[in-house]
Copies of this chain bind each other. A is one copy, B any other.
Amino acid sequence: MIAISSDNKVLLRDTRREQLLAVAVERFAKYGYHSTKISDIVAQAGVAQGTFYWYFKSKEAIALEIIRVGREGLLMVIERGYPTQNGSVQIMVQGSQRLLKDIFQFGQENRYFMELLLTEGGADETIRQGVRDTRIAMEEAFRRNIERAIEFGMLPKSSDMHMRAALLMSLIEGVMARWLFGPVHPESDLAQRSAEQLAAETVQFEFFGLLGI
């Protein structure tokens, strides 16, 4: 019997193509798109320069592929977190916390993709666009979550869904980015938290603000 991995991780393994994707996303994240040379990627993958072009049309193409695959995985996680039934605030907080935990875990397991998504602003226009689109899609998913929660009477009505979604996304992106790759103050123990803890604290703030922490 073959055990199928059920984790969130975007599978990047086995074939040469996936190996190149894995190496590329790591270096793009660590050093940025432009500072990463094709020669670096193939050297780390242990193949010849030309081999890269057997699998990808160009440097841009591999970056877009990384974004495409990562986006799919990420959105799948978020869609799974939809509130689907009526309930108390308590229940909703629990639901939110579970969703955030999943997202943070996804980030932890795909940290290079996440870094690319959250910090890469220096690449070429097509890639910037790909990143932008993914983040907008993510924000959209959250907006729908919030709307659903309001329908179910779990959240007070508000005229501006977009603002709420923006505030949420800001929290999530900012916290995750600091957690995974800083910038973080040397004294802070943020990086040591588990996804679960981080989700709990973030959700607390999300619902009750500074005064409720």
**Residues of A bordering B, CB below 8 Å:** 31-35, 89, 115, 118-125, 128, 132-133, 135-136, 139-140, 143, 155-156, 158, 160, 162-171, 173-175, 177-178, 182-185, 187-190, 201-202, 205-213
| Cβ of A23 to closest chain B Cβ, rounded Å | 18
Q: How many copies does the complex hold?
A: 4
| A166-B140 in contact (CB<8A) | no
Contacts A34-B122, A35-B122, A162-B188 aside, 7 further interface pairs with beta carbons under 8 A come to A31-B125, A34-B34, A34-B35, A35-B125, A139-B183, A168-B210, A171-B171
Please indicate which of the listed interface residues A122, A125, A143 has the most CB atoms of chain B within 10 Å of its own CB. Answer: A122
Give chain B residues whose Cβ lies under 8 Å from the Cβ of A118: 121
A211 nearest CB neighbor, chain B only:
B207
Q: In whole angstroms, how far apart are the Cα atoms of A187 and B162 in the complex?
A: 8
Give chain B residues whose Cβ lies under 8 Å from the Cβ of A33: 34, 122
Q: Pick the contact of A32 from B122, B156, B183, B187 — CB < 8 Å?
A: B122
| Cβ of A26 to closest chain B Cβ, rounded Å | 15
11 A-B contacts (beta carbon < 8 Å): A34-B122, A35-B125, A118-B121, A136-B183, A140-B185, A162-B184, A162-B189, A163-B201, A164-B210, A168-B210, A207-B211
| A188-B166 in contact (CB<8A) | yes
| Cβ of A175 to closest chain B Cβ, rounded Å | 6
| B175-A166 in contact (CB<8A) | yes
Give chain B residues whose Cβ lies under 8 Å from the Cβ of A139: 183, 185
Q: Pick the contact of A155 from B34, B115, B140, B211 — CB < 8 Å?
A: B211
| A32-B128 in contact (CB<8A) | yes
